[in-house]
Amino acid sequence: MKLFYREFGHGEPLLILHGLFGSCDNWNSLAKQFGEDYHVFVIDQRNHGLSEHSNEWNYEVMAKDIADFCEQHNLQKINLLGHSMGGKVAMFFSQKHAHLLNKLIVVDISPRYYPPHHHAVLDALQSILPERYESRKLIEEEFNKTTLDFGTKQFLLKNIYWKENADGTKQMAWRFNLPVIVENIENVGQALPDAEPFLGDTVFIRGEKSKYITDVDFENINIHFPKAFVKTIADANHWVQAEKPKEFYEMTMDFLRA
């Protein structure tokens, strides 16, 4: 699997994994900041962004993708940061590839099972056939008729692009592999399996207003990650790094430097 990535800075490697429907571009500003101290690789995961599409899509293969990426780039003892789906990928990676991992940063996701809860987003995405539209503006106007909140709409619309066909014609399309994501959406909620715990330094960063990591999750977190602690960023929701970038950067850097 060939993964697209952007690269910043020099030093110890820091790999960043986006969440569902995201891409490496969501992290550019923070990645440049982290790049002042670390060698940062911001990765598009399979079926997202500019990375290859595949019919196989689950945490096991996505974790292996990151291990293969490390081998391809001769990276050892990486620091790994993942948000939401990317955080779950990072947790799966820690179980199978702990020898490659230095410090682990998991953002607003816990090891537990999450029931499917993306129905509104998937319904909205499937209601739009980008190839039928002549401009992004027309798609945006149609998308605004859905019940999604403004922030979610803008986040998803970043995935619209002009796709060049084999015959040289162009059409609008989603960058993510929507059919495969729809077919396998239950995989996103998968719990971290029972396995040997990851004994390295670990931090879970959550948004105060988010429900993805609750106090009830602490016990389960510590079973899988005995050295983990949970840090909370005030007045932040699930997209904590976008809503509170300064606080998120400082909290992450404090952990990495410790």
Of 84, 94, 110, 210, which one is the catalytic site residue?
84
Helix (H), strand (E) at residue 49 = none
- From first to last of the 258 residues of the chain, give the pLDDT tens digit: 999 999 999 999 999 999 999 999 999 999 999 999 999 999 999 999 999 999 999 999 999 999 999 999 999 999 999 999 999 999 999 999 999 999 999 999 999 999 989 999 999 999 999 999 989 899 999 888 888 888 899 999 999 999 988 888 899 999 999 999 999 999 999 999 999 999 999 999 999 999 999 999 999 999 999 999 999 999 999 999 999 999 999 999 999 999
Active site residue 118: no
Active site residue 54: no
At which residue do the structure tokens 């619209």 appear?
160
Considering the entire predicted model, what is its pTM? 0.96
Q: What distance in Å separates the CA atoms of residue 21 and residue 57, rounded to the nearest whole number? A: 13
Reference 20, options 86, 64, 115; nearest CA is 86
